[in-house]
Amino acid sequence: MVNTLTPETTERAHGPRSAGPAVNGRAQTRRRRHQAVVAYLFLAPALLFFAVFLILPLGFALLLSTSRWAGFDLGDIDPVGLDNFTGLFADGSTFLTPILTNTLLFALGTVALALAGSVLVATCIDNLRFQGLWRTLYFLPIVTTVVAVGNVWKYMYEPGGLVNGVLNALGLGSVAFLQDPDTALPSVVVVQAWASVGSAILILTAGLKSIPESYYEAAALDGAGPGTVFWKITLPLLRPSLLFVCITQFLTGLQSFALIIVMTKGGPGDATNVAALEMYRQAFSYGDWGTASAAAFVLFVVVLVVTLVQLWIFRRKGEDA
């Protein structure tokens, strides 16, 4: 039999052919564009807030860091190039030593003490009853104002305070904690770490809860002791939480201002003077907003570099594990 069907007769018999993938592709493109427009509309308020309260002040601070300005009339801004930055590191400047050195020591000391204390407490209360109560008690310093914490510890450090009372009772003698340049900075570091332990405990406790119980059961069957379990199982699996605690505590230490100004005001001398306090002094006490802005950008670079180094170290350890 001879096939007499032609394209025209086939179309009449079966109806018009479907538009095919081209039409579907255009419809998907329109749908994606519509979704993108809706998403940007929802993001617009947050982006506007971000631009007004972060991008614009950051740009203005960058302008001030290369200018001389007393903080009153914008018309008095006098460009000086990089003079503010070179002045920070010139001979006779105290910014690099002791101010920036104090800042790094303060941040590193806070990280070390807060991390050690939070790991110890989190592992101890992990298997205790009333864990919520213990976490709440350790979290109380976080919800207490820094001014209150600083004043309480300041009085405890006094020659007739609680700390020296305990030392005298033990026959160790009194220590001028906040009056001696050698002990002032470590004394404030202890307070900062004590106040920061609560938040770190919450993070590490959540990390401990995420570790599968099967690991500990397998270790018990192998006869592993508590020390082996901690170093071989708990600590490696806590690495993401530890990284987060390290970075957040380090950033908190670098930006510490209120606690130091309450307890020591940067003294004795410059023994406890840190970058944030020096920025405050330059801007509001001396009216030198250019130097204050330059110091802020130097601190920003330090924070960025140290944070990237911490991320690299933890990622490398994770690959080696």
Do 218 and 308 lie in a common domain? yes
Do 170 and 103 lie in a common domain? yes
Do 154 and 223 lie in a common domain? yes
Do 178 and 31 lie in a common domain? no
pLDDT, position 186 = 95
Cis peptide before 268 (omega within 30 of 0): yes
Do 271 and 182 lie in a common domain? yes
Residue 71 lies in a domain: no
Residue 14 lies in a domain: no
Do 305 and 173 lie in a common domain? yes
Give the three-class secondary structure for 240.
helix
Residue 77 lies in a domain: no
Range of the domain at 57: 21-65
111 pLDDT higher than 90: yes
Question: Domain of 222: which CATH number?
Answer: 1.10.3720.10
Segment holding 79, helix H or strand E: strand 78-79
Residue 257 lies in a domain: yes
pLDDT, position 188 = 96
State the average pLDDT for the chain: 85
Which bin fits 256, alpha (ψ -120 to 50), beta or left (φ > 0)? beta
Residue 121 lies in a domain: yes
Binning pLDDT at 50, 70 and 90, where does residue 310 land? confident
Residue 213 lies in a domain: yes
Which pTM value belongs to this model? Answer: 0.80
What's the total number of domains in the chain?
2
pLDDT, position 139 = 81
Work out the average pLDDT over 178-195. 94
- Least confident residue range of 44-48, 148-152, 313-317: 313-317
Do 140 and 213 lie in a common domain? yes
Do 186 and 116 lie in a common domain? yes
pLDDT, position 318 = 59
- Burial letters 23-55, b for 16+ CB under 10 A, else e: eeeeeeeeeeeeeeeeeeeeeeeeeeeeeeeee
- Torsion angle of C-alpha atoms 35, 40, 45, 48, degrees rounded to 10: 180
Do 54 and 186 lie in a common domain? no
Do 228 and 314 lie in a common domain? yes
Residue 76 lies in a domain: no
Do 26 and 155 lie in a common domain? no
Alpha-carbon distance 169 to 157, whole Å? Answer: 15
DSSP one-letter string for 109-163: HHHHHHHHHHHHHHHHHTTSS-HHHHHHHHHHHHHS-HHHHHHHHHHHHSTTSHH
List, for residues 267-286, the tens digit of each pLDDT value.
898 999 999 999 999 999 89
List, for residues 3-56, the tens digit of each pLDDT value.
555 555 555 555 555 555 566 777 788 888 888 888 888 888 888 888 888 888
Residue 16 lies in a domain: no
List, for residues 208-259, the tens digit of each pLDDT value.
888 888 888 898 888 888 888 888 888 888 988 898 898 889 888 988 899 9
